[in-house]
Amino acid sequence: MPRYLERQFNTWHVVVYIPKDVQPYFRKTKFTQTLQTDSRSEAEVLKLPYVAEWKALIKAARNNRGPVSLQAIADEVRLLRDEIKTKWKGFEDEAIMELAYNLRDNPDQDYAEELLSRVQGDWTPTEGFIEDWIAQAEFQPKTADEARANLTLFCDKFRFFETVGKEDLEGWVDELRSSLSVPTVKKKVGHVRGYWQFCVDKKHTKAPPPPQGLVKAPKRSKALVAEEMRSKRKSWTVEDYHKLLAARPDDTVLNDLIRLGAHTGMRREELCAMKLEQVKSDRFVVEDAKSAAGWREIPIHSDIKQLVARLFDESTDGYLLPDLTANKYGHRGSVIGHRFSRLKTSLGYPKNFVFHSFRKTLTSMMRDAGIPESQAALIVGHDLDTMTYGLYGNDISFARKAEIMASVSYRL
């Protein structure tokens, strides 16, 4: 892309990103203006006066603020608080009045207001307690990284809890919704709300957390319903299953994973993390799953008994699927998952066909065989939310589970 130009909906915009040290001065992260043209050569000319003006504003802001940076302000706040605590003990109010008097003629009143408000404790930096919140939340490493990234995004936008109003939050949500889905934005706002509530509980701030209902569901239009139906995960057919296996006969590990997933309904990571001690003569024992319902025993289907026996005998590292490379979160299924994704894409399948779709295939086969939903759920590891089955229901016998699994077949 050309410098200072960004294309949005076939129209060029001039954009100059504001350096972090003066973002608080302008209270935004960039200058932007539409050039109302789709011609790049014309945009290159039209952008020049905007870029010159905005760079002059940035330079003037830096001269006005002097060498003060975000870290410098934080250091100054800490030093002033220490001085008031040690030298003005018993006269804290007078010290604050003295500081306010000294700042009254400061040429940068935004800086003066921030310094005074932080020393008094009226303003609390949003970024100060992220690691404390993540530690007490006991997230898995991947979720912790996601939460950290979402909160960093929020803190870059809003520096202090007390200066954030409802309209500011609504504007931020609208900004996120312009490029992200509703579930993704809800997750980001959920992390912010959880972190903010933690800071309130720990008395870091008195500012109330964001209200509920910030992320509104889009209106149910015909186009939206059609898009939801197109993006909804599809189940593989028996023909799809054989097509996937035939496409890469040389990739034995990938084919083994496909066959296991199709005949067990296990999630990819459940299969890739399965150790040999979890494989019995007639069943898989799934442990440490995503939910309590995920802790389950799955009969070994007759069509994969020989496959399981071979994998058990050939394993060199104690895993049913050996020699898989773990990612930074310790997940062994990530790399082979990308291989599966490339395979199905090369065969022309859209994005709503994924490895997880084998779970949908298995439950569909059970449904067609007349298996009650409550019994199928015990095999695939779905939660039962009904009062009868979810709260008081008991597990079914393993013999019954074996009968249910026998109703599933990928034979042509």
pLDDT at 155 over 50: yes
pLDDT at 206 over 70: yes
Calpha distance 172→113 (Å, rounded) = 24
For the chain, what percent of residues have pLDDT higher than 90? 53
Q: What is the pLDDT of residue 252?
A: 95
Average pLDDT rounded to a whole number, residues 311-334: 92
Per the model's pLDDT, the better-predicted residue between 314 and 230 turns out to be 314
Calpha distance 364→357 (Å, rounded) = 11
Calpha distance 279→305 (Å, rounded) = 11
Poorest-pLDDT segment among 68-72, 199-203, 224-228: 224-228
Average pLDDT rounded to a whole number, residues 19-32: 78
CATH architecture of 126-218: Orthogonal Bundle (1.10)
Calpha distance 288→278 (Å, rounded) = 11
Q: What is the pLDDT of residue 389?
A: 45
pLDDT at 387 over 50: no
Q: What is the pLDDT of residue 179?
A: 86
What digits encode the pLDDT tens for the residues 100-151?
988 887 777 777 888 899 999 899 999 889 999 999 998 989 899 999 999 9
Topology given in CATH for the domain delimited by 238-406: hpI Integrase; Chain A (1.10.443)
Number of H helices, E strands in the chain: 18, 5
User: CA triplet 152, 183, 258: central angle to 5 degrees?
Assistant: 105
Q: What is the pLDDT of residue 67?
A: 44
Q: What is the pLDDT of residue 393?
A: 45
Average pLDDT rounded to a whole number, residues 333-346: 95
Start-end of H helices in 88-216: 92-103, 109-120, 130-137, 141-157, 166-177, 182-201
Q: What is the pLDDT of residue 340?
A: 96
Q: Which two tokens stand for residue 106?
A: 């400061």
* pLDDT-based confidence at residue 388 (cuts at 50, 70, 90): very low
What digits encode the pLDDT tens for the residues 234-293?
899 999 999 999 999 999 999 999 999 999 999 999 999 999 999 999 999 998 656 666
What digits encode the pLDDT tens for the residues 84-95?
988 888 898 999
Task: Assess contact for 96 and 119: CB atoms under 8 A.
Answer: yes
Q: What is the pLDDT of residue 226?
A: 52
Domain residue limits, the chain: 5-65, 70-120, 126-218, 238-406
Q: What is the pLDDT of residue 161?
A: 95
Count of residues in the chain: 412
Radius of gyration over every alpha carbon of the chain, rounded to an integer in angstroms: 29
Calpha distance 161→248 (Å, rounded) = 54
Q: What is the pLDDT of residue 104?
A: 83
Instruction: Taking the CA atoms of 310, 316, 317 and 322 in sequence, report the sign of the dihedral they define.
Output: negative
For the chain, what percent of residues have pLDDT higher than 70? 89
pLDDT at 43 over 80: yes
Q: What is the mean pLDDT of the chain?
A: 87
Task: Assess contact for 28 and 18: CB atoms under 8 A.
Answer: yes
Question: What's the Cα-to-Cα distance from 400 to each of 297, 304, 334, 410, 411, rounded to whole Å?
Answer: 12, 19, 34, 20, 22
Task: Assess contact for 225 and 187: CB atoms under 8 A.
Answer: no
Average pLDDT rounded to a whole number, residues 192-204: 96
Phi/psi of residue 275, each to 5°?
-95, 160
155: which residues sit within 8 A by CB, 6+ positions away?
125, 126, 127, 130
Least Cα distance to 39 among 72, 73, 5 occurs for 5
Alpha carbon of residue 41 to chain centroid: 39
